């Protein structure tokens, strides 16, 4: 995918798969909602989850966003690798944090009819990719 195609794809896709490393070295992969701001992938995660605990101990993460159907040539996706960092209070209760204005607006628009809600159970993780790989098998037709 081109950079513009990746951006559009990441803005539109609904679910990502987050892979972390457990304390014993085992991989752990979970589905999660996310938003893309053009530079970073923002994950709104339960703070009392294995994913959060794994990332507190070892911030290395790989995230896959993909779609496609039964047709091989319709498969496309993006993998982002890097280190996740918590942003804002943990869990998030709504204290003003300039860095979170845009991710919370994007999240509200994408998943909650324009309104982001704080539940005191989730927190924000930011992944600014160190490595990005994308694929779009529809381009194989060309």
Express each pLDDT in 102-141 by its tens digit.
999 999 999 999 999 999 999 999 999 999 999 999 888 7
Average confidence score pLDDT of the chain: 96
User: Residue 67: which CATH number?
Assistant: 2.30.110.10
Q: What is the mean pLDDT of residues 33-59?
A: 98
What does pTM read for this prediction? 0.94
Would the pLDDT of 63 be above 90? yes
For the stretch 3-38, what's the b/e string if a residue is b when 16 or more beta carbons lie within 10 angstroms of its beta carbon?
eeebbebbeebeebebbbbeeeeeeeeeebebbbbe
Q: How much is the pLDDT for 71?
A: 87
What range does the domain containing 81 cover? 3-141
Count of domains for the chain: 1
């Amino acid at each position: 995918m081109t950079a513009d195609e990746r951006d559009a794809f990441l803005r539109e896709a609904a679910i990502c798969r987050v892979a972390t490393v457990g304390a014993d070295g085992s991989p752990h992969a979970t589905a999660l909602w996310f938003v893309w701001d053009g530079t970073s992938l923002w994950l709104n995660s339960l703070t009392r989850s294995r994913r959060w605990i794994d990332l507190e101990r070892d911030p290395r993460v790989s995230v896959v966003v993909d779609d496609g159907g039964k047709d091989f040539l319709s498969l496309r996706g993006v993998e982002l690798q890097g280190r996740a960092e918590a942003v804002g209070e943990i869990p998030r209760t709504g204290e003003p944090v300039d860095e979170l204005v845009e991710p919370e607006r994007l999240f509200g628009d994408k998943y909650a009819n324009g309104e982001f809600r704080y539940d005191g159970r989730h927190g924000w993780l930011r992944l600014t990719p160190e490595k990005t790989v994308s694929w779009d098998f529809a381009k194989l037709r060309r």
